[in-house]
Every structure is written in C-alpha cells, then in structure tokens.
Structure 1
Amino acid sequence: MGRVGDLLSIENPLQFNLDNYVGGTFRGKPIFDLDGVEDQIDSGRSQKVTANGKITYTFLDEGDGLIGIYNNKNYGFTAGEGLAAFSAAQEAEARDSITLWDDLVAPEFVETEGRGADIQFANSTDPAQAYAYYPSEKGGQKYLGDVFVADPAVNWTNAWLGYGGYGATTLVHELGHALGLSHPGNYNYDPDLPLSYANYAEYAQDSEQYTIMSYWSAQETGARIVNWDLLQFNNPQTPLLHDIYVIQEKYGADPTTRTGDTTYGFNSTADREVYDFDANPFPYLSIYDAGGEDTLDFSGFFGGTVLNLNDGEFSSGGSAIPSAAEINANALELYYETGEVDYIGGVDQATIDSISSRYISNNARDISIDTGYTGVNAVNYENISIAYGTMIENAVGSEYRDIIIANELDNTLTGNGGADVFVFQDGGTDTITDFLAGEDLIDLSALAGEDTAIDFGAGFLEADFDGDGAVDLTLVFDNGAELTAADVYMG
C-alpha cells in the first residue's frame, strides 16, 4: 500500500478502501467508522412518512402559482424573475432519480399533481447550481423538502442529463437533501471561500467515491473515474456506498427491491437501465439488492477488471474507450442538447491515446499495489461498489485479465478470457466454470497458514486451513480442470 502514506496497516489488503482502515488517517484526516459517517451525513431531519408509508412529490408549473411564497424574499427566496416549471426531460430525469432513492428505503414515493406534496420540484434563477431545503416531520413552511434547480437557460449543466451528466447527478444530490442528508462537512457553495477537500473535508471518506452528498472529487480519496464518452471526469450516477448506508439507517431498507435472481452489468435483468452496462458503458454507481441469487457481469468490459463480490467493497472496470470521432460526435450532441459545452469537437486520436494510456497505466499500478497482481488494465478504478448488507453470489469476468474476489457465500465464478486470479477469503463451496490450469491462478493466501493442507484432482480442490482434518473450502471446476501446485498461491 505504498501510496497510502499515514494509514494504519492491515493484513492482506485486497482493495484500497478507506473503510477498512478505521482509526487511521489519510492525508491527515481521520478515517471514520460507519457510525461516524452517519453522524456526518445525517442532518437529523426526515420526511414525514404517511401512515401507509408514502412520501409524495410533484412538479410545480405555472398553473400552480409559482410566485407567492416561492418568490417571497421574507422566506429566503431571491429569484426576482420568479420560478419556472421543469422541462419534460427534467421531469423524466427527476423521476429516475426518485426511483433510485425509492429502491433503497422502506417508504414508497408517489407522484401527485398540484401543490402540497412533500417534495416539490421547480427551476429557479436563484441558485448557482441547485439547492434543496431539509424536510420536517412536524410540518412547517411550504418549501421544506422542496428542490430548486438553476434554470438550464441560466446554467446549462442542469440540462446535461443521462449517465454521468452533471444535471442528473445534481438531482440525485438534491433529493438526498430533501430526504434529510447533509453535506458530509460544514461547507456549502460560496464563491468567496477556498472550498477544497484539503481545506474543508472533516474526515477522510468525504469524497464522491463514497457519497454523492460530497463536494469533493473521487480522485481526492484515490479513485480514478472517467466518462470516456466525453473525455471528462465522470459524475456519480446513483446514491453511493455511504449514502445507501445512512439513508437506510434513517428510513429502513426496502426489503422488496430486486428480490429475485438479478444480473447487474452486461446481460442485465435489474430493471434499471443505469445497471445495464450496454446502455451505461462507464458506470459510476453502487448496487443495493434485497435478495435472490445475483450476478455481477463484467463480460463486456475492456482491458481487465477487479471484480469484488464483498459488500462494502469496490470494483474497477469500464468499456472500451471510444475513438476521437466518437468522442467528438458525443460532445457535439451534448452541445445541441444543452446549448453549451466545454469543447465542440477538435480532440485528436493522438491526444486520446496519450491520456488513456496514462490513466490505464496508473490504474494498473494501483491495482497491483492493492492486490499484488500486475497486468489488469482497467479503464476506470474503484467506480462500482456493493452496498453494505447486499449479497451477490456470482461473478462473470471480462475477456481480459481479471482479479475476482469471492465472498462468504457459495459463489459461481466465470473468468472468461485472460489469465485470471480467483481470490478466496472465506470457506464454503465455490464453483469456477472455466479454470485454465497453467494460466489462471487460485489465491488462498488470506486463509492459508502453517497447518494448511490442500488436496486436488480432476475437477476439484479441497483445503483444510487449520489442520483439524475437516474441509474448510471446496472448489469445484465445471470444466474438469486438473490443477498442479503451481496453480495455487498460498502466500
């Protein structure tokens, strides 16, 4: 863990995840446990959930009287031009954002018409980007719990919707406020303050690697997440690891979310397009699932992946990087959709090749530091996480070199192509469908000790880690692979 600096060490780190170093420091900031994280992100304010478990929302329009209290300076509103209704595209994106939160919590979100809903949406000429008021369980002013977005005519980024769009991320963030989540530290937008992670983060995990409520890039805590479709840093697409933990502590987890057998990634059956990596080739998200036998499928990713099935951990990967012509076309399309963009074409293939080569090299270096294995050329680093308490049984790797880390369940693991590494940290019975002896590797170093004994033959491996004569881990090889000692790493 050479880049960690002042972190307390742990044995056999398989992932650079600050949550695993509670009690240490990172960049001089304390690493909090989940209780400490909750104290930082939970404002203490909650929506008033109806007796039948509902939270309502609505989209204000001109017919609802957008002036009145919503444009009264005595109540803190300063939009002299008044407020404006969401466009149809904004409404559709807001509904998708609500669905992402609805999947997480026990209360159900219900859309209503007209004024008076718990969460009301409108554009405004007041905020620099957007703002929302904390809710109140006791009632109070009409605007409590409402979300106001800078009119896209004033701030074009709020028309940048879709996966990785800043306008889409803004809606998910502001809904977090409307449900009672705060920024993780004592900061807010102020052009006169030197806002930065170094100056204002109060604890180490305050970044968009862990929470969409943060102001600070995921890069501040070591992640490296790019939207290669536009050659820009990506923006979070869902509530993230710590958001899910805190919001479920506030409202309770939804026990009905995807309780059947669900595949996330390629060949997705998750019924949320954000989890379909054919539609969302550069995902930046966290997965919550309430049950069933589930699969994380990275089969279409490019360059190799780290696929970690353990809850509360990160995985790394992304699809093939587009050509210069494709990136320029995407930028031009964004310009026509929003009226403004940082660049309109012009990036050449040599520039893309240089940037992507540097990023992939850095990702491979950091994955090697984390795991001890070289040659995993992932296009993104630590961009996908599994929510605490979510159990995913099965993994499908890419056609390149992958590191697949099993969990305590009975896993079915498919490496696909490349010289893959299968890492085991728990006992049980796991299946590898396509192990290639002499090319792939079984890593038992987290479990093996002086008393460990292993036995293997055609299609199986059995390991007794403590020398008591009982089998602790059984691996079944569907293709009948016959291992040699060279195929197993014991540490």
Structure 2
Amino acid sequence: MTSNQATTQITNVISGDYRIDVLLESANFRWNYPQPLKTPVTVTYSFMTAAPTYAEADDKKGFTPFNDAQKTATKDILAQISAQFDVTFKEVADSADSYGQIRFGNNDQGETSAGYASYPDPSGNPAGGDLYINNQDPANLEGITPGTNAYATLVHEIGHTLGLKHPGNYNAGEAASTDPGNFLAKDEDSEANTIMSYVKTPQQLERDFFGKYDILALDYLYGARSFKTGGDIYSFGNNAGGLLQIINDDGGIDTIDASTATVAATIDLRDSGSSSVGQLSDGAAAQNNLTIAFGDIIENAIGSALGDTITGNSSANSITGGAGNDTLDGGDGIDSAVFQGTKSAYTISPQGAGWTIADGTSGRDGTDALAKIERLKFSDFSVALDVGATSNAGIAAKILGAVFGKSEVANKQYAGIGLKYLDSGTSYADLMKLALDVKLGAGFSTSSEVTLLYTNLVSATPSAADIAYWEGTVTSNQFTQTTLAIMAADHALNTNNIQLAGLAATGLEYIPA
C-alpha cells in the first residue's frame, strides 16, 4: 500500500521526537507501566493451547495453536529484543486460568490480514498483549525465517504487544480513521524506517527485525541494554540482498564487510545511513536494504571486487575499496583509504578537491576517486594527503623542517610519530614543545633554540646579535620558546625549504607509529 499523509502530524506529543511519537498511541501502553519509562521489566509469555475464554468470537474463529516453527521464530525474536532492550521475557505454561502477559495463537482471519495483536493494557484487560496469526495462509505457518513475510509479520505483531502502533493512518481490514492522531509523512512512512509500516520498499523486501524508528521507540519505553560493544565485523554477501537489516551497535571498532559480494556495494557509515548490499534472487543488486541505528558509529568499511561507493562518518574511518573503480568519501575525521600493493605501484593525482589513485597492477585495486580522505595506506608505507599549512600533515612537515632540518621531512618514521600525536588530538604547540625537548633536551636555553631554528631556516649560523635579538623577544614575552618555534615553522623560509606546496600535491610519506 501507499500512504497519503503529506506531512507528519503530531496531535499527541508524547516524547517530543516525532520518529517515536508516530509509533505510540500512548506512553502508558507498556509493560513497565505505571513505573517510570525505561524501568527494566520481566514480561511473561505463553503459547495458547486453546482460544482464551475471554476472547471475542472473531478471535476464537478457526483457532489453532502455534506450531513448532512458529514457536522457534517467536523465541528467536524475543531473544533479540531482550538482548537489546530492558525487557526480559519468561515463558510460562498456558491454560484457561493461567497464562502469560503476551499470548500467541492462530485463527482464521480470512483475507483481511496476516495477523493482529493488542497493546499492553494498563487497566489489566487480559486481552492486552494477545497476538494472532492468520492460519488461512500456509506461508504464515512454515518456513518462518528472516527475510520471509511470515517472520516480518511476527516481528510487527510483537511490536504491537510491546506498545508500538502503525506510523500511518491505516489498519488491516479497516478504513482510515477520521480522528486526528500521530501520523508519519509519506516520504518517511516505509518499512525501510519501521517494521510497523504497511508501506513496502520498492523491491518489496522484508525486515528481519525492527527498524531504526522502532529502536528509538522501544528504547524510549523500556530502555536499551548495552549491545555489541566489541569490535564487530558485519559481513554481507550476496544473500544479504534478500532482506532489510539494521545494525544496532553500541561500541568497539566495527566494520561493514561486503568483500564476498559479487555485486557492487553502496556503504554509508553515517549515523542512520542507508546502504545497499547483496543481490535479489533474480541477481539484481539490492537497494537501500541495510541501515545503521540512530546514534551508532561503525568505523570501517570493506567493499566488493566491483565499483563500490563508500561514504564515511565523523570518526576516523578505514575504507578498503578493493578491486574495481571505487568512489570513496571519508566525510569528517582523519580517514584512510587502504590499498593492497606497495606505494610505487600507484599513481596519486590531485583531482579537484579530491584525489585519484590508480593502481598500475591490473585487476587489483582499480582506479579510485577519493574525497575527504586524509591518509593512503599501502603495504609498505602510508601517505598523508592533508598537507595544508593548518592541517595535521602540513603541521608535522613544518615541525620536522624547523626543528630537525628540511632533510628530515623525508624521514618516514619521524613523520609517522608526529602524525600519531596530531591525529590523536595533540596541539601544534604541544607537539612543537615535545619536538624541541627531543632535539635540544628538556630545559634547553633560548640561545640554543635560536641557533637551531636559524640554522635550519637560513642554512647559516646566527650572529651573536641575532641570538640576542631573538632571545629578547622571549624575555620580553613577545614570544614563548614554543611560539617562537611555531613562528619559525610557519615562516616562508621554512615552508619553501621543505617544499610544502609540492607536498600538497604528492602527500607526506610516513610509517604509522
């Protein structure tokens, strides 16, 4: 179906975040009510053995219990929810007089729906939390695996039992409501954002879990557990194209890896970014089938052997395009593009605001177009591209030239040490002070500093008068020892000596420290 909601409408402000409020009828429809929001809660569940005595006639029509396949899928979904949110599920026996807060069963819904479920009822109505799957469609009862409509239906209906509503003004088998409510605009109302939506993605893919809006809403109601805090590798081959997936990850240095796919990947590492990985059963490339949860950071990406498009985020991203002609955009942060061969095998060329990196070895890394990439990592050493006067590699080169001499700009180990400090947040001034201490020894005199800087900049020993003059600028507090050295490093004599303008076109070679 499609939505006709032109703009998002929030009649009942609940959380203040429209992405949450379009999924909530009330903040009271939750199992931890009347305790405060986000209070951890244990929720019991059971599989109906017979239609509940309190059930309506439509609920009882054609009742059958869940089969083993349905039970297995249900337990899998509940386990995933419990791992990510502060809801602990406990299975209990089901009878006419004793049963779980959430109950699962099948009934005859004709052709009106695949399933339906009730919200938690704060008044204590036992029907609150009851879930029924339509047993008139055999596809709902067998082969219930991620990527199937049957599995997505279970996740959707379980969402209702936890308090989530549809984001749009619709309900299976019913006309649209004429009452005002919280409804999501049609350009966002999609299963790409929430499994509670009725609007399919263009490729008709099914979700294997909740979407990024759902995760916000469940966190709002129940609170989130710490989840996936290590260095996780999320691998996506061709089969990943058959379903809609989400990455919910709370920490560690993580990687999206599409290297086994035989179709090009589009990977977006940005917060809530949408990626395209894998292929459909007919071989077509999947589109926008992978998202990252709001607020989550995935640091690294590995592309396929074809022409991928990879976009980084504000972290220090490591991006491996792999074979094929890739388009890599690092975004903010100090980002690296990784290549398989030695640096001598590649041609590095400035291209507008970015770079083109061409591999001379056929079939290996191809020709990649880079934007906002600060580092190139080859198998023998690396190249820093941020050689502007105020950028980290430019600052490192200026310090090397002023303190250690222009020849040391080519010292890859020294350059690597300087970049390690700068990339980790050390200031220009602090690194300059450290360099002076290393070169001259702690507690060095201003005269020794002046002699060092003067010699490196003009290739001559300063006169006594020159030394006295520059010592005087420190004594008078015009400069400190550190700011005097920074002035020298920034001077055209130094930047010309180290050929900073030329480095901006070739990069600064270094060995990572």
* TM-score using structure 1 length: 0.64
Counterpart amino acid of 1:402? D
2:47 corresponds to which of 43, 59, 74: 59
Q: Is the 8 A contact 2:238 2:262 kept in 1?
A: no
Q: Identity across aligned pairs (percent)?
A: 26
For the aligned residue pairs, the C-alpha RMSD in angstroms reads: 3.7
Q: How big is the shift at 1:315?
A: 0.3
User: 1:105-128: CA deviations, max 9, x gaps?
Assistant: 122222222243221111112463
For structure 1, which runs of at least 5 residues remain unmatched after alignment?
1-25, 195-199, 220-224, 226-232, 267-276, 323-351, 361-378, 448-453
Give runs of aligned pairs for residues 300-339 of structure 1, distance below 5 A. 300-319=260-279
Give runs of aligned pairs for residues 138-177 of structure 1, distance below 5 A. 138-151=122-135, 154-159=136-141, 160-177=143-160
Flag the 1:99–1:280 CA change in 2: closer, same or farther, 3 A: farther
The match for 1:131 is: 116
Q: How big is the shift at 1:461?
A: 1.9
The match for 1:87 is: 67
Task: Tell me the distance in 2 between the aligned counterparts of 1:423 and 1:460.
Answer: 17
The match for 1:451 is: none
2:99 corresponds to which of 98, 103, 116: 116
The match for 1:345 is: none
Question: What number of residue pairs does the alignment pair up?
Answer: 355
Task: Tell me the distance in 1 between the aligned counterparts of 2:263 and 2:40.
Answer: 49
Q: How big is the shift at 1:102?
A: 2.4
Task: Tell me the distance in 1 between the aligned counterparts of 2:326 and 2:9.
Answer: 34
Counterpart amino acid of 1:37? R
Q: How big is the shift at 1:303?
A: 2.1
Q: How big is the shift at 1:67?
A: 4.3
Q: What SS does structure 2 have at the residue aligned with 1:243?
A: helix
Task: Tell me the distance in 2 between the aligned counterparts of 1:416 and 1:456.
Answer: 13
Q: Is the 8 A contact 2:337 2:377 kept in 1?
A: no
Flag the 1:413–1:202 CA change in 2: closer, same or farther, 3 A: closer
Counterpart amino acid of 1:259? T
Higher helix share: 2
Flag the 1:78–1:403 CA change in 2: closer, same or farther, 3 A: closer
Task: Tell me the distance in 2 between the aligned counterparts of 1:181 and 1:193.
Answer: 18
Flag the 1:58–1:472 CA change in 2: closer, same or farther, 3 A: farther
For structure 2, which runs of at least 5 residues remain unmatched after alignment?
11-15, 178-182, 347-356, 359-366, 397-411, 417-502, 508-513
Q: What SS does structure 1 have at the residue aligned with 2:74?
A: helix
Q: What SS does structure 1 have at the residue aligned with 2:17?
A: helix
The match for 2:31 is: 47
Task: Tell me the distance in 2 between the aligned counterparts of 1:388 and 1:469.
Answer: 30
* TM-score using structure 2 length: 0.61
Task: Tell me the distance in 2 between the aligned counterparts of 1:68 and 1:313.
Answer: 47
Counterpart amino acid of 2:133? V
Name which structure has the greater RCO, CA cutoff 8 Å, separation 6+: 1
Give runs of aligned pairs for residues 175-194 of structure 1, distance below 5 A. 175-190=158-173
Q: What SS does structure 1 have at the residue aligned with 2:386?
A: strand
Q: How big is the shift at 1:470?
A: 4.6
User: 1:179-216: CA deviations, max 9, x gaps?
Assistant: 1110002211127679xxxxx96442011111110111
The match for 2:298 is: 392
User: 1:166-186: CA deviations, max 9, x gaps?
Assistant: 111100000111111100022
2:384 corresponds to which of 461, 481, 489: 461
Q: How big is the shift at 1:444?
A: 2.4
Flag the 1:134–1:395 CA change in 2: closer, same or farther, 3 A: same
Structure 1 position 265 matched with structure 2 position 235: yes
Counterpart amino acid of 1:42? L
Structure 1 position 405 matched with structure 2 position 376: no
Q: Is the 8 A contact 1:414 1:434 kept in 2?
A: no
The match for 2:54 is: 69
Task: Tell me the distance in 2 between the aligned counterparts of 1:473 and 1:238.
Answer: 47
Q: How big is the shift at 1:415?
A: 1.7
Structure 1 position 292 matched with structure 2 position 249: no
